[in-house]
Amino acid sequence: MKSIIERTRCPFCKNKGQQLPHLPLYLHCSVCRLAWVKRFVIPTYEEKYYQGTSPLASKLLKPVSTFFYLIRSLYVGTEQKKLWIDVGAGDGSFLKTVRAEKKIG
């Protein structure tokens, strides 16, 4: 279910909005001169949005991800490490590159 917000007061100074001529979807503040959309839908996102599983994005970003994989491979080297800890905000692909007995992250 979509949540619709109707804003009749100015989001900046909270004064009552005035109808803009010929633009029925917008209101205008006569005090601070701000104009805004009167009604709007609050966006809701599915879990897939945050996971970045878009087929189009993966096709477009494939060359970039391959390039970064090569950079990571050069950085971590070829010898196996005992322990590798990855503290970051990535998707875990860095740890996939590392050869280690134990991986934390």
Query: What digits encode the pLDDT tens for the residues 86-101?
Result: 666 667 676 777 776 7
Nearest residue to 102 via CA among 75, 88, 81: 81
Q: Are 68 and 100 within one domain?
A: yes
Three-class secondary structure of residue 72 per DSSP: helix
Nearest-angstrom CA–CA distance, 46 and 20: 35
Q: Return the structure tokens found at 31.
A: 């005090």
50 in any annotated domain = no
Nearest residue to 52 via CA among 104, 94, 105, 90: 90
Number of domains in the chain: 2
Nearest residue to 1 via CA among 50, 39, 42, 47: 42
Nearest residue to 45 via CA among 87, 79, 2: 2
Domain membership of residue 64 as a residue range:
60-104
Q: Which residues contact 15 (CB under 8 A, 6 or more apart)?
A: 9, 29, 30, 31, 32
51 in any annotated domain = no
Tell the residue number behind the tokens 């917000």, with chain if given.
Answer: 5
Q: Are 66 and 94 within one domain?
A: yes
pLDDT in tens, 8-62: 999 999 999 999 989 999 999 999 999 999 998 888 877 766 666 667 777 787 8
pTM of the full structure: 0.42
